Amino acid sequence: MNHKILFTLFGLFCCNIITDIAAQTFEKRGFPQERLSPELTARKKTEQMDKLLQLSEKQFKKIFKLNLKEAKSIDVQRKNRQGIMPPPMPDRNQDKFPDRPPMRNFFNEVPMRPHPQPLQNPEKLKKETRKREKKLKKILTEEQYNTWKEYQKSIQDYKHHNNL
C-alpha cells in the first residue's frame, strides 16, 4: 500500500515539474505579438534612427513621414493578404487508396484555398528601395547616411550569417 502511495506521489511530482518547465518555455516564446499600427511602427523606426544618427528636429519629422508612408503601404499589403492560405497538402494516402474520396469540409465541399501572392514583386521592391534611399540621402548628411548604410549592411550580414 505504501509503495502505491509513494509511486503516485512521485508521478504527481514529475508531472508538476514537467508542467512548470513547459510553462516557462511557453512564457519565453509568448503569444504571437499584435501587429503594431503603422504610426507606432514608423515612430519606433524613426526613434531608432534618431538614436543612431542624432537627427535634427527637421530631419526627424521628414524621416518619420517617410517611415509612416512605408509602414502604411506595408500594412495595406498585409491586410490584402489576410485569409489567404496555402493550398491543402495532397492526400498522402491517395496512392494507397485511389478510390477513396478527398476530405471534405463542413459544407461537404472539397476545401480549396487560393495560393498566396508575394507581398511585392522583386523589381517593384528594388525600385521602391532605391527611391527611399534617394530620399534618405537628401534628408541626411553624408556622414549620417554613411553611418546608416553601414548599420543596414551589418544587419543584413547578421541575418545572412544566422539564416534569419
- Split at pLDDT 50, 70, 90, the class of 62 is very high
Residue 30 within a domain: no
Residue 85 has pLDDT above 60, yes or no: no
Residue 103 within a domain: no
Residue 48 within a domain: yes
Q: By mean pLDDT, which of 22-31, 55-64, 128-137, 143-152 is the weakest?
A: 22-31
Between these two residues, 159 and 150, which has the higher pLDDT value?
150
Q: What is the pTM of this model?
A: 0.60
- Split at pLDDT 50, 70, 90, the class of 53 is very high
* 128/17 Cα distance (integer angstroms): 52
Q: How far is residue 53 from each of residues 21, 97, 133, measured CA to CA in Å? A: 42, 64, 16
> pLDDT of 24-35, one tens digit each?
665 555 555 677
Residue-averaged pLDDT of the chain: 79
Q: Which of 73, 107, 109 is nearest to 88 (CA)?
A: 109
Torsion sign over Cα 56, 61, 62, 67: positive
Residue 134 within a domain: yes
Residue 128 within a domain: yes
What pLDDT is attached to residue 20? Answer: 75
Q: Residue 132's domain spans which residues? A: 39-80+119-145
Crossing angle of helices 142-161 and 122-139, in 10° steps, is 140
Q: For the residues 106-116, what does the mean pLDDT come to?
A: 56
* 44/49 Cα distance (integer angstroms): 9
- For the chain, how many structural domains are there in total? 1
